[in-house]
Amino acid sequence: MSTGGRRSRPTVADVARAAEVAPSTVSNVLHDHPNVRPEKRARVLAAIDELGYVPSFASRQLRRGGLDAVALVVPDITSPYFAGLAHAFMAEARRRGITLLIDETDGRLDQERHAARGYPELGLSGVVFLPVAIDPAELDSHRSATPMVLLGEHVRSDRFDHVAIDSRRSAREATAHLLALGRSRLAFIGLGTGPGRLRELGFEDARVAAGLTPGAATVLHVRESSRDEGAEALRRLLPRIAEVDGIVCSSDLLAIGALRELHAAGVAVPDDVAVLGWDDTPDASWTTPTLTSVAYDMAGIASRSIDALERRRDAPLAEARQILVDHRVVPRASTVAPAG
């Protein structure tokens, strides 16, 4: 008799009853064990087809012997950078035949703790995790059997493979781009922690290498990498804007906010002040003027992260590695006036 409710999903026990075998035999077939007689294997496969049984992520992983379902865990999927990162991971996962799940933590410690445990209820074959709130020691304490790779530069750990760009080096190169254009009265807008702090250090490295007075640049710290914070930082700078001829922003979002306030104040970019950002988000090509930005190899981040998961699956006790991906400065009209 029908209850009028939704049919429950078939289980291993249902398949075993239909095939008239033990549940352990169904499991052996799913895991492709060789010790199953051909006639029993045929009955199990026929029952799976008849019932529409779909193995769990963990079962499919074991049967395939490789990565099957991987989670990408980021703080904020609405961020243009993280959206671009998710797109790159989706393309790489699709190319490899891997199911990609995406989780957003909002930078909350409780959410990051759940991610650090590896989502055991899902039976994933790997997690790629960009933490911002959890302490490295706590992250290590939550380490699970699920292979995990870290992204970004907020949290470092000697126990996990880590894929990142070299923020300090890229900041030296970005600042050198402005210095080569004759800009020497520079300001920096960015976070005082994580990648923002590393970019600030690289900014200062380039200034000192150019013979400028150490510590003499204007530095404005923000609470978050957002357009609003970039605009607010620029408003703080406006009373001294005549003393500045170049601004390095530690993200495109900060730079976009700064560009808007410069335009509102009648400050010409790049004639009066050059502006540079980070992440090379799609909006960098749509601002007025278009925004010079530091670009990362997003496809490289995705492919090398999944390579690291596969390595960790095959060698769970291998020494953790630091994996750096390529970056480049993409010059646009905010630092270099267009020809003609």
Structure confidence by residue, pLDDT tens digits, 130-175: 999 998 888 888 766 788 999 988 777 778 999 999 999 999 999 9
Q: What is the pLDDT of residue 7?
A: 53
DSSP state of 238: G
CB 148 within 8 A of CB 129: yes
Tokens in use for 37? 């007689």
DSSP state of 4: S
Question: Of the given ranges (18-27, 52-61, 195-204, 245-254), which has the lowest mean pLDDT?
Answer: 52-61
CB 117 within 8 A of CB 142: yes
Tokens in use for 199? 């970019």
Please tell me the pTM assigned to this model: 0.79
Q: Which fold has domain 69-165+298-327?
A: Rossmann fold (3.40.50)
| Domain ranges (residues) in the chain | 1-50, 69-165+298-327, 167-296
What does CATH list as the number for 1-50? Answer: 1.10.260.40
| pLDDT(6) > 60 | no
CB 25 within 8 A of CB 44: yes
What does CATH list as the number for 167-296? Answer: 3.40.50.2300
- Residues contacting residue 93 through CB under 8 Å, at least 6 positions apart: 70, 99, 100, 302, 306
| Polymer length in residues for the chain | 340
| pLDDT(4) > 50 | no
- CA–CA gap between residue 69 and residue 327 (Å, rounded): 28
Greater model confidence, 42 or 156: 42
Question: Of the given ranges (62-66, 188-192, 244-248), which has the lowest mean pLDDT?
Answer: 62-66
CB 96 within 8 A of CB 125: no
Domains 1-50 and 167-296 share a fold: no
